[in-house]
Amino acid sequence: MSRARVHAHAKPAKPAVAGWVVSLALLALLTVGALFVLDRVYHAEQFRIRAVEVRGHVTRVDGGQVRAVVERALPATYFSVELDDLEARIEQLPWVFSASLRRRWPDALVVEVTEVQPVAQWGDDRWLHSTGALVARPAEAHAAEWRDLPKLSGPSARAESRAAREKVWRAYQTWSKAFAAKGLQLDALHVDARGLCYLTLSVSALLGRAGQGAGAPSSPSPSSPSPPSIRLIVPQQHAAARIARFTGALRHPLLGDFAALRTVDLRYPNGFAVSRAAPAEPVTVSATTVATTPATAAAPSTPTHAEAH
């Protein structure tokens, strides 16, 4: 038998050119149609922004300035307006801490504004915000709006971390309450790179209690400086115990004469040293010897010494 050879014959390919042409034509038509629709949506008169609503509990932010920033971004439409860019511009306005924008159909923008809420002065030209952030003090801020804020600062005032700022703020809050219970007001707190704390106390309230009871601090004479203040120096590591030692000695006649008191150095483990406007003899306060030096004398090379008996 002879084998029959089977030869496979390839079928001729169908032309595909017409199909590709149709596909490309449809794609082009769809692209043009989409661009036309987008152009109508982004630039159509019916999608213009016609209302700007400013929200937030604000007393100093000028709502007119906020609206002016938004209006300068128009004729951007409801769909084309750049919200992130507008937020950044609004946050450059005086007294604005943050801004958040959203669209409200069909033709409005809603602006949520958070106003700067300073809790303290930080350094020379900034404020500590209630969130822990630092903000530049507005040039429009009047002294009366911030002069009563406590003055805080820390090491490397221009580069400190949020954690370092929060630590200083928490220390101020804690110590401020302790001093307030004794009739003192903590006006300023500076922490240096070595961990030393420098506190400025206003004693007007305590002096005002003069004569209300035995052992009350004496009131200042008419020639006394006004308002009187005291500078405390205390290591941050031992601040709580040493501040308590100082406040516990407030009823002593020596420390009661706040009109003459200038500096209290609490760096000593068993006592503290005071500097006064006029010289005085060392006086024993409880179990502690408090050495005194004239404030007008030349500063000694080392702090005035104090030791326990």
The one-character DSSP state at 33 is H
Cβ distance 234 to 266 under 8 Å?
Answer: yes
Mean pLDDT of 283-297: 45
Cis, peptide link before residue 75, omega less than 30° from 0:
yes
Q: What is the pLDDT of residues 163-174, one digit of tens each?
A: 889 999 999 999
Mean pLDDT of 124-130: 89
Going through 118-250 in order, the beta strands assigned E by DSSP cover 118-122, 126-129, 134-136, 151-153, 185-191, 196-202, 229-235
Residue 104 pLDDT more than 60?
yes
Residue 149 pLDDT more than 50?
yes
CA atoms of 93 and 88, how far apart (whole Å)? 10
Question: What is the average pLDDT value for the chain, to the nearest integer?
Answer: 76
CA atoms of 199 and 243, how far apart (whole Å)? 11
pLDDT confidence of residue 298: 31
pLDDT confidence of residue 309: 35
Residue 307 pLDDT more than 50?
no
Mean pLDDT of 179-198: 92
Mean pLDDT of 132-148: 81
The one-character DSSP state at 308 is B
Q: Torsion angle, CA of 13/19/21/25, rounded to 10 degrees?
A: -170
SS3 190: strand
Amino acid letter for position 18:
A
pLDDT confidence of residue 255: 64
Of 241 and 40, the structure prediction assigns the larger pLDDT to: 241
The pTM (predicted TM-score) of the whole model is 0.69
For the chain, list the domains and their CATH numbers.
47-115 (3.10.20.310), 122-294 (3.40.50.11690)
Residue 277 pLDDT more than 60?
yes
Asked which of 103-112, 145-154, 189-198, 209-218 is least confident by mean pLDDT, the reply is 209-218
The highest-confidence range among 23-27, 131-135, 206-210, by mean pLDDT, is: 131-135
Amino acid letter for position 190:
H
pLDDT confidence of residue 31: 65
pLDDT confidence of residue 308: 37
- Interhelix angle for 162-180 vs 239-248, to 10°? 20
Q: How many angstroms separate the Cα of 245 from the Cα of each of 99, 180, 211? A: 47, 15, 24
Mean pLDDT of 279-305: 44
CA atoms of 201 and 261, how far apart (whole Å)? 11
The one-character DSSP state at 258 is T
Mean pLDDT of 236-257: 83
Dig out the tokens for 252 from the structure: 């002593």
Q: What is the pLDDT of residues 11-45, one digit of tens each?
A: 555 556 666 766 776 776 666 555 545 555 555 66
CA atoms of 279 and 160, how far apart (whole Å)? 40
